[in-house]
Amino acid sequence: MEQIIRAEMVASVHSVVSEVGAEVAVGDTLMILESMKMEIPVVVEAAGTVREISVQPGDVVREGDVLVILD
């Protein structure tokens, strides 16, 4: 089942920890966002395989932007 992970706020992509094809489990960190000098981890809520990563470090995302798609 496809799982789309979206940005919850305006932020900069600080780092991407995962990669396409990686198997991820609940609680794994996919990337770190930065907003107002705070680092915010983006974590997996349901296990799956990373199909697509839509952002890269340095990108600015807005609320609702697609970050990662899991299968």
Please classify residue 59 by burial: count the beta carbons closer than 10 Å to its beta carbon, then call 0-12 exposed, 13-18 middle and 19+ buried: middle
Residue 34 has a CB neighbour count (10 Å cut-off) of 14
Number of domains in the chain: 1
Averaged pLDDT of the chain: 96
Residue-level pLDDT at 66: 98
Strand residue runs (E) in the chain = 3-6, 11-16, 23-24, 29-35, 38-43, 48-53, 60-61, 66-70
For 45, the domain range is: 3-70
**pTM for this structure?**
0.91
CATH at 35: 2.40.50.100
pLDDT tens track for 11-39? 999 999 999 999 999 999 999 999 999 99
Q: Under a CB-based contact definition with an 8 Å cutoff, are residues 61 and 42 in contact?
A: no
